[in-house]
Amino acid sequence: MPRSPTRKRTPKAATAPNVALPLAAPEDPAPAPPPPEAPARNTVRRLRAPRAKRFVALAGNIGAGKTTAAKIISQTFGFELFDEPVIDNRFLKDYYANMGRWSFTLQLEFLIRRVEHHELIHSVKKSCVQDRTLYEDPEIFAKYLHGLGHMTNAELDLYFEYFQRLTRTIVHPDKVIYFDVPTVDVLLGRIRQRGREEEKGIEKGFLRGLNGYYATFPMVLQNKYGVDCLVMDVTNQDIRTGRGREEFLDRVTTFLA
């Protein structure tokens, strides 16, 4: 009889010895990334500043600190700076020497130059900051000089006629920052410290009289011209460096937001 084919036996798998293998040591976790550096405060302020074009103007008595503030705002937020047209003003020195003769002429000069500023501001695409507002000329200086007898009734009327005609189509500030310094000695000290030749004739009484008109200026701005105004008493605040500068910029950032 033929033999039946033999089946091949599959060898049994070798049994692994029951030996506990040491567990692999856990890998060290990847080091956590360093925390992001806090952005500089000025960078944060720029990020918080409105993206749309803004026109901000500084107001305040002579020596209040408007020029310094305008420069700081320009540097911090990247605004185009429009300085007060003082250095090139051809009548200023004569005005302080003889106000009765030159008051009307000087006020017209300032009005024309400031209207030119507003026309330029309208053509600039970026945000702008202006050293001294257009409104201080009629509401503060013209009225005060008239009250002192340095401008006649006819001159004041003619000045306001020029003002109304020249400002019909200009762009107006979105915001005004008013620097209040009630203490005349502080104003005079700052004027003497900066040492402008044309301002040597300014006296305490003149500054005190201007402060009287400035007392109601924020209300006039809002009620007559519809301009939002931030009032800051900077009598004892040095905004040039340190804490005073930071506090000033924090308030401006909030005001512009």
Instruction: Tell me the pLDDT tens digit for each residue of 177-199.
Output: 999 999 999 999 999 999 888 78
- Decide if pLDDT at 48 tops 90: no
Residue of 133, 125, 7 lying closest to 70 (CA atoms): 133
pLDDT given at position 87: 53
CATH class of 54-252: alpha beta
How far lies 257's CA from each of 23, 99, 174, 176, 247, in Å?
Answer: 60, 41, 12, 14, 16
Which residues are known catalytic residues? 131
Q: What is the mean pLDDT of residues 49-78?
A: 92
For the chain, which residues make up each domain, given as ranges? Answer: 54-252
For 63, the token pair is 């020596």
Q: What is the mean pLDDT of residues 215-219?
A: 97
Instruction: Tell me the pLDDT tens digit for each residue of 78-115.
Output: 999 998 876 556 788 788 889 899 999 999 998 998 99
Instruction: Say what the pTM is.
Output: 0.78
Instruction: Tell me the pLDDT tens digit for each residue of 111-139.
Output: 998 999 999 999 999 999 999 999 999 99
